[in-house]
Amino acid sequence: MAEPLRVALIGTGSIARRHLLAFQEHPDRLQLAAVCDVQREAAEQAAAPFGEEVGIFEDVDALLSAGGFAAVDICTPHFLHAAQTIAAAEAGMHVLVEKPMACSVDECRAMVEAADEADVLLLVGQSLRYLPGHAGVRKAIRSGRLGRVWSARSDDWFPALPPKPWMRDAKLSGGGVLHMGATHRIDLLRHFFGDIGSVRARSWTDNPELVNGGEDRIVATLEFENGAVAHVTACWAGYTTPHFFQYVVLGDSGALFTELVRGNDWRESMVLQHYGPAFVSNGSGYEPVEPVQDGLAGQDAWINVLVHFADCAQDGAEPISSGADNVGTMKAVYGCYESARTGRDVALTDL
């Protein structure tokens, strides 16, 4: 067994707390070497349970100059993802970057190029791919249990705006509910069906707390290269709804339904991991879809992402959510924005 992967965590806010559980639960695979946050106190708090040898930094350049680790885990606001990824790759570090990958398709391509040039791994934390339930759905679809898939629907309604000010400012976050939330669902549909050929979308913004153009509602139609068509809605302003996430997939010999994820608020349903059990019907009764554990360490999506990061960096495992693959997801996201702006269909080959 290889030594654990020595990782520097960059950004120690909300999601980093879930990443840190992986270091606690899998010390044989992951070792926290350093933490970096512009808020020193936050970095110190994050590092405290891991002992005094964990380096504390307030600046990414200083962190990368100090070295002493093989990889970084980037959990910062979206506008920082590209520059921090490129700097880490150029310093020879493997990179795990949280979703959404970055704030434009060009930024995403530059990140992939930097990782390729440095011959390091670039993994994007598309956590939904790392749930055994969704892996089971993918297997059911890909093994032909639904026959030829021709249609799908995915809805994701949050009861309120996201909590952090930077998330409400599209200059810092890169967009609104599509970029921050529906990226997950679009990526999951790509994981199920393959690449998207074209998109059309409409978006709306009512809430004055969203600045610089972030949207609080989006309706999108995605046409996949395999012929499937998916309808995606996402909303940040459903003040009377708890977090509602559900999808349906229709094929010519079966339909797959997921149960509603029942969280009373969106944080609770995040803990429920965005997954309600799935069932397949061929018109007479419902058969459960069995979760698939292959290559996944356990039940927690973020812990699974981190352990998989070590598996890829050290043991050459095939990435479940590589940066190169994620460019396709981000093309769909930015294609939807282009379509909402122009009122036209957008072919993703043009982006």
Ligand X SMILES: NC(=O)c1ccc[n+]([C@@H]2O[C@H](COP(=O)([O-])OP(=O)(O)OC[C@H]3O[C@@H](n4cnc5c(N)ncnc54)[C@H](O)[C@@H]3O)[C@@H](O)[C@H]2O)c1
Residues forming contacts to ligand X in the complex (CB under 6 A) are 10-16, 36-39, 42, 60, 75-78, 80, 98-99, 125, 127, 164, 180
- The answer for residues whose C-beta is within 8 angstroms of residue 150's C-beta and 6 or more apart is 227, 228, 229, 250, 251, 252
The token duo for 230 is 């998916």
- Tokens 């704030």 locate to 103
Q: How far is the CB of 98 from ligand X (least distance, A)?
A: 4
Q: Which is nearer to ligand X, 196 or 306 (CB)?
A: 306
d(CA 8, CA 171): 26
Q: How far is the CB of 248 from ligand X (least distance, A)?
A: 21
What sections of 235-322 are H helices per DSSP?
266-271, 301-315
Q: How far is the CB of 84 from ligand X (least distance, A)?
A: 7
Helix axes 14-25, 301-315, angle to 10 degrees: 60
Residue facing ligand X at closest CB distance: 13
Q: How far is the CB of 74 from ligand X (least distance, A)?
A: 8
Q: How far is the CB of 97 from ligand X (least distance, A)?
A: 8
d(CA 31, CA 296): 19
Q: Are 273 and 300 in contact (CB under 8 A)?
A: yes
Q: Which is nearer to ligand X, 15 or 324 (CB)?
A: 15
d(CA 258, CA 179): 23
d(CA 130, CA 297): 9
Q: How far is the CB of 253 from ligand X (least distance, A)?
A: 33
Q: Which is nearer to ligand X, 193 or 266 (CB)?
A: 266
Q: How far is the CB of 37 from ligand X (least distance, A)?
A: 4
Q: Which is nearer to ligand X, 26 or 78 (CB)?
A: 78
Q: How far is CA 157 from each of CA 177, 201, 233, 254, rounded to the nearest angstrom? A: 9, 17, 8, 26
Q: Which is nearer to ligand X, 16 or 122 (CB)?
A: 16
Q: Which is nearer to ligand X, 11 or 251 (CB)?
A: 11
- The answer for residues whose C-beta is within 8 angstroms of residue 299's C-beta and 6 or more apart is 131, 132, 273
d(CA 188, CA 330): 12
In a 10 Å sphere around its CB, with 0-12 CB exposed, 13-18 middle and 19+ buried, how is residue 318 labelled? exposed
Q: How far is the CB of 184 from ligand X (least distance, A)?
A: 6
Q: Which is nearer to ligand X, 162 or 251 (CB)?
A: 162
Q: Which is nearer to ligand X, 45 or 205 (CB)?
A: 45
